[in-house]
Chain A
Amino acid sequence: MAEASDNSIRVDGIQLAYMAQVRARRIMNLILIVLFAALMFSGFATADARNAGGFWDGLGNVLDFPADVFGEAMERAHLLPGYLLKYLPSLLETVNIAGAATLLGAVMGLLLSLLATRGLAPFPWLITPVRRLLDILRAVPEIVIALVLIFLLGGGPVPAMIAIALHTTGALGKLLSEVNENASLKPVEGLESVGANWSQRMALGVLPQVAPNHLSYVLLRFEINIRASAILGFVGAGGIGYDLRNTMSWGQGKFDEAAAIFVLLFLTIVVVDQCSSALRNRLTHGTSPSKVTS
């Protein structure tokens, strides 16, 4: 009997301690929610106060531009296939800039990511400098790099490509290094035990584990870069961005052509997305039909 009451006292103690922990956690959550709401409202209020026109006054006009574009495009819908063909070469140029920049950035990003991952890096003292370098590459907007390079090298696709590749290196270097951190070190140790050097350990021990995740980040970056390279066209890097700027200006009556360019960009993103999921599935599951287990 005494044993039973001892036990119930012990369980009561555990219950009390856990309830205290639960209450502390609930209070923390409440504080966080209140803080989040306060930040959101105050941030919005600040932005609205600094706004030139005022958010609430302008809200009604937000749909005017899409409505104009859509209206003109519908009016001259029969011209759309022609426009799609007309702007296809510019689109290819834009995709080309994005593709070259992504490849270059991915190769450099992969190398830097391995140098910046704790546990994998060959020179631990280099981890912090490499991470700061990646931070710098991410911090400078690609449009600034592009403008400087266009000034130095003249307008065209090459400055845009370099600018996007540098930003991609910074972004992918960080993301890929976070993926590398989750790789198991056991295969790496296995390869070390047979006398493999660092490059061999990375290429044969780490990459097979992380390849599917790396690929999905690189392909996502490719999508982002297509958009970035279209934007750089606005500042003289060529490609479809240049055409978009010309057709989008108000009062030219070229909104139907702008609509065609939007359609092209949308289709490109869809195609890249579809290809990337197909590729990723192949890489994660292989090509053989999945085995049935019971």
Chain B
Amino acid sequence: MLRIEKLTKRFGVNTAVDAATLDIDKPAMIGIIGRSGAGKSTLLRMINRLADASEGRILFEGRDVTALRGAARRAWQSDCAMIFQQFNLVPRMDVVSNVLHGTLNRRSTLATVFNLYPTADIHRAIEILDRLGIAEHAPKRAEALSGGQQQRVAIARALMQDPRIILADEPIASLDPMNAQTVMEALRRIHDEDGRTVICNLHTLDTARRYCDRVVGMRDGRIVFDGLPAQLTTGVAREIYGAGADFSEAATSTEIDTLDASIRAARKGAAPVY
């Protein structure tokens, strides 16, 4: 379905992504982990074509996505939704308008600039918001919502695109543990119920293990691990993060359960072992 071949991105002398190769043959929920600067965001931005690749190809169902220009590129972007760490909504517009932005590629410029969306689209936008549990916030301005709610609006915008793939770039990094759980569960549900492929950059191992079918580890722009969550041992994690023996998963965790576990372990007088 999606094939990435030796994808490389250079910024001047720095190589952000170095000959990344990845093959996704059926819809799945995939987590990409690695420390900051490992090239996770750049990889997703190249798939969405927000950034151009320096070398290599991205193939979607046999079509070379990296070669698309102009309208064809924008059509691909509408098929390949992106969710950002900082939500990237238009803060002064209401929630439904933000969700309707997911249809911009299909509608005429003049109609959208004057906010003339079809009634059916507006109804669908509110139904999607209801599915994510935030329909009652529909008429509010996006900036009036909490972080977790805003991220769900961003997911609703992505769903409004009716995309083949959803890319999520650190979707929970700015959220507290409760909101993080809601957002991750929403993404998982979208994969389970709609069968869409979700590729998700994450910075905590336990999140990747808990929600993803497959985990990809990146270090210094290279893909250094590609396997099942169960194969992701502490040793492998140390290698991905380039950490020493003092590396503890609990220290980076945002899960409430892990926190409890590590506190319990600390009370027992033993360091948490994973």
Contact = CB atoms under 8 A, between A and B. Distances in A.
Contacts, number: 48
A291 to B, nearest CB: 10
Contact of A29 (B114, B119, B127): B114
29 contacts: A7-B130, A10-B130, A10-B135, A11-B127, A11-B130, A11-B135, A14-B126, A14-B138, A15-B122, A15-B123, A18-B96, A18-B138, A18-B139, A19-B119, A19-B122, A21-B139, A25-B115, A26-B115, A29-B114, A29-B115, A292-B12, A292-B16, A294-B17, A294-B37, A294-B38, A294-B39, A294-B40, A294-B42, A294-B221
A11 B41 contact: no
Say whether chain B's binding surface is mostly helix, strand, loop, or mixed: mixed
B109 interface: no
Count class of interface residues, chain B: 20 to 34
A14 B140 CA distance: 12
B274 interface: no
Please name the 10 residue pairs, one residue from A and one from B, whose CB atoms are nearest each other, closest first: A294-B42, A292-B11, A294-B16, A294-B39, A11-B130, A15-B126, A294-B41, A292-B14, A14-B135, A15-B123
Q: Which of A18, A19, A21, A294 has the most CB of B within 10 A?
A: A294
A274 interface: no
B136 interface: yes
A10 B126 CA distance: 11
Interface residues of A, number: 16
Contacts of A294: 16-17, 36-42, 221
A19 to B, nearest CB: 7
Given A7-B130, A293-B36, 6 more contacts: A14-B126, A14-B135, A19-B122, A29-B115, A292-B14, A294-B221
A17 interface: yes
B116 interface: yes
Interface in B105-140: 114-116, 119, 122-123, 126-127, 130, 135-136, 138-139
A293 B37 contact: yes
Contacts of B136: 14
B115 A11 contact: no
Contacts of B115: 22, 25-26, 29
B17 to A, nearest CB: 8
Contacts of A11: 126-127, 130, 135
B180 to A, nearest CB: 22
Contacts of B130: 7, 10-11, 14
Interface centre among A10, A11, A21, A25 (most CB of B within 10 A): A11
Nearest to A22: B122
Nearest to B114: A29
Contacts of A14: 126, 130, 135-136, 138
A29 B111 CA distance: 13
Interface in B133-179: 135-136, 138-139
Contacts of B37: 293-294
Contacts of B127: 11
B126 A18 contact: yes
Nearest to A23: B119
Interface string B195-227: 000000000000000000000000001000000
Contacts of B139: 17-18, 21
B38 A18 contact: no
A26 B135 contact: no
A22 B118 CA distance: 11
A258 to B, nearest CB: 43
